[in-house]
């Protein structure tokens, strides 16, 4: 403990990290009547998700969707002589939405009487929390608590040998605030983030090249969904390359800055050139300068190991979210936060089943899934029945002009229980919640069929898909 440190202050719970996992844990602790401290190093609460991820990107994607829809005005009997955009206002609106939501989180902290400390939180050898004014500095407030929860999140990572300089080779953070629209961009990684940015930049006229090492885009997701999406993206003008290995990035010295991404495909070397190269190959946990060594904590494969109660090897020190691996999603971290605080309070055993965490992609058509994919179910030697309902057979889809995609359900053959669901279509990210509830409640295909769905709605696809799996669909 530094000699300049202030007097220790006791709390029932100290949370390090103010993202979705951290602030959710703080609120849950306050609801239990605990004295809670939240430590955050960034100027705004909300973490990457609210400030540089989930919220601002969805704002940008909605703007891209509206722009594309306006260009289709003639399909709906409408006339639009000129449809344009103001890049500066596009970016500004996204930032305004983010700041508004960050302000909302700050208000939630006040409402729940949570003590917010601005600074860098780290563990001390005597299992307290030191709040330094900045990273790698010493001195500051010393906080004590029986329960300490680490929720430090993650940051974008790069490929070995390729540095993110923030100008030509950028991360998602820089991609959201580019001062001008690039005419061309190469995106490395076709997971959710890479595909969303590909859709966004392409919608506003940039030439997009999307490179993916796996044999399909959205690796690990349903093969049928990936096949429909890659066809759609290519139809929108996005150049998609799968099964490629990026070897490096060569910056080209010219009047207009640009870079060439060198990659191998089919045994030969190729290159893709763009004004910007966006690294979208995933994230890495924020594990640095948290005082792990002082308490004998160590990461394993880049994440901090915890037991089934979210507790580390040090009694009273817990961790959640990207810091411990698993689904790298805001709603997963929030669910783990509620479960972890409940376990601290002795509310009984609580689990967060990764198979019940929905996975979402907000391009158009949208993609959403929960539970097992068909491939995963068959790999487990499960006997399954699969049902699909195409939106081209949906009256609501025709009415809204969005007939692309389908809903898909996977059931166990013996008992007819739901094992997994996937959807690709204009509102897939909203539709998936019903499938998630059905999965959690171990709903059978008969129960889905017996649930009356309003007509006309896109959600009618679920009972139709359930019927299709067992030869009982009515509208296909």
Residue spans of beta strands (DSSP E) within 315-449? 317-319, 359-361, 366-371, 384-390, 406-412, 418-425
Contacts of 180 (CB under 8 A, 6+ apart): 87
CB under 8 Å, gap of 24 or more: what pairs does 269-273 form?
270/244, 272/186, 272/209, 272/211, 272/239, 272/241, 273/184, 273/186
CB under 8 Å, gap of 24 or more: what pairs does 342-345 form?
342/28, 343/309, 343/310, 344/13, 344/147, 344/318, 345/32
* Cα separations in angstroms, 325 against 53, 329, 333, 441: 18, 10, 10, 26
Q: Which of 109, 142, 131 is nearest to 8 (CA)?
A: 142
Contacts of 431 (CB under 8 A, 6+ apart): 368, 407, 423, 425, 458, 459, 461, 462
Is 455 catalytic? The answer is yes
The pairing of beta strand 141-150 with beta strand 245-252: unpaired
Angle of helix 20-31 versus helix 87-111 axis, rounded to 10: 20
- Residue 379 pairs in a beta bridge with none
Instruction: Count CA atoms within 13 Å of residue 80 on its CB side.
Output: 14
How far is Cα 138 from Cα 1, in angstroms, rounded to an integer?
8
* Cα separations in angstroms, 453 against 312, 418, 462: 45, 18, 9
Q: Which of 175, 207, 221 is nearest to 194 (CA)?
A: 175
- Residue 68 pairs in a beta bridge with none
The pairing of beta strand 366-371 with beta strand 36-40: unpaired
- Say which of 82, 270, 453, 455 is annotated catalytic: 455
How far is Cα 254 from Cα 189, in angstroms, rounded to an integer?
26
> What values do phi and psi take at 230, rounded to 5?
-65, -35
Q: Which of 32, 33, 38 is nearest to 14 (CA)?
A: 38
Q: Is the dihedral of CA 408, 424, 242, 325 positive or negative?
A: negative
How far is Cα 17 from Cα 39, in angstroms, rounded to an integer?
6
Task: Report, as residue numbers or ranges, the catalytic residues.
Answer: 455
């Amino acid at each position: 403990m530094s000699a300049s440190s202030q007097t220790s202050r006791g709390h029932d719970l100290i949370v390090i990290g103010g993202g979705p996992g951290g602030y959710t844990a703080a609120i849950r602790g306050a609801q239990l009547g605990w004295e809670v401290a939240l430590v955050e190093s960034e100027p705004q609460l909300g973490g990457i998700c609210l400030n540089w991820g989930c919220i601002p990107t969805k704002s940008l994607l909605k703007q891209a969707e509206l722009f594309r829809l306006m260009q289709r005005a003639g399909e709906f009997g409408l006339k639009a002589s000129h449809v344009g955009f103001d890049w500066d206002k596009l970016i500004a609106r996204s930032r305004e939405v983010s700041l508004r939501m960050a302000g909302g989180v700050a208000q939630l902290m006040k409402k729940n009487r949570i003590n917010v400390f601005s600074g860098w939180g780290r563990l001390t050898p005597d299992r307290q929390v030191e709040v330094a004014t900045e990273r790698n500095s010493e001195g500051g407030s010393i906080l004590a608590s029986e329960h300490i929860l680490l929720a430090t999140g993650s940051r974008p990572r790069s490929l070995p040998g390729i540095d993110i300089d923030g100008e030509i080779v950028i991360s998602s953070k820089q991609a959201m605030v580019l001062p001008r629209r690039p005419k061309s961009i190469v995106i490395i990684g076709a997971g959710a983030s890479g595909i969303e940015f590909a859709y966004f930049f392409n919608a506003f006229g940039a030439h997009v090249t999307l490179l993916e090492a796996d044999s399909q885009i959205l690796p690990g997701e349903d093969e049928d969904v990936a096949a429909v999406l890659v066809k759609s993206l290519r139809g929108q003008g996005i150049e998609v390359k799968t099964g490629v290995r990026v070897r490096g990035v060569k910056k080209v010295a010219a009047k207009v800055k640009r870079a060439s991404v060198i990659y191998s495909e089919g045994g030969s070397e190729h290159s893709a050139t763009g004004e910007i190269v966006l690294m979208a190959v995933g994230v890495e946990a924020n594990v640095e300068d948290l005082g792990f060594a002082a308490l004998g904590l160590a990461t394993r494969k880049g994440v901090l190991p915890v037991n089934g109660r979210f507790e580390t090897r040090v009694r009273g020190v817990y961790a959640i979210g990207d810091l411990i691996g698993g689904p790298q999603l805001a709603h997963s971290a929030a669910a783990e936060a509620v479960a972890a605080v409940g376990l601290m309070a002795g509310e009984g055993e609580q689990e967060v089943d990764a198979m019940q965490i929905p996975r979402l992609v907000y391009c158009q058509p949208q993609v959403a899934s929960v539970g097992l994919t068909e491939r995963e179910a068959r790999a487990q030697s499960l006997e399954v029945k699969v049902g699909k309902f195409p939106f081209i057979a949906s009256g609501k889809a025709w009415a809204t002009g969005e007939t692309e995609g389908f809903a898909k359900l996977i059931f166990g053959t013996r008992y007819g229980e739901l094992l997994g669901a996937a959807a690709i279509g204009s509102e897939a990210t909203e539709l998936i919640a019903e499938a998630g509830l059905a999965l959690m409640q171990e709903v059978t295909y008969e129960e889905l069929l017996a649930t009356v769905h309003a007509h006309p709605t896109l959600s009618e696809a679920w009972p139709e898909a359930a019927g299709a799996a067992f030869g009982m669909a009515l509208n296909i």
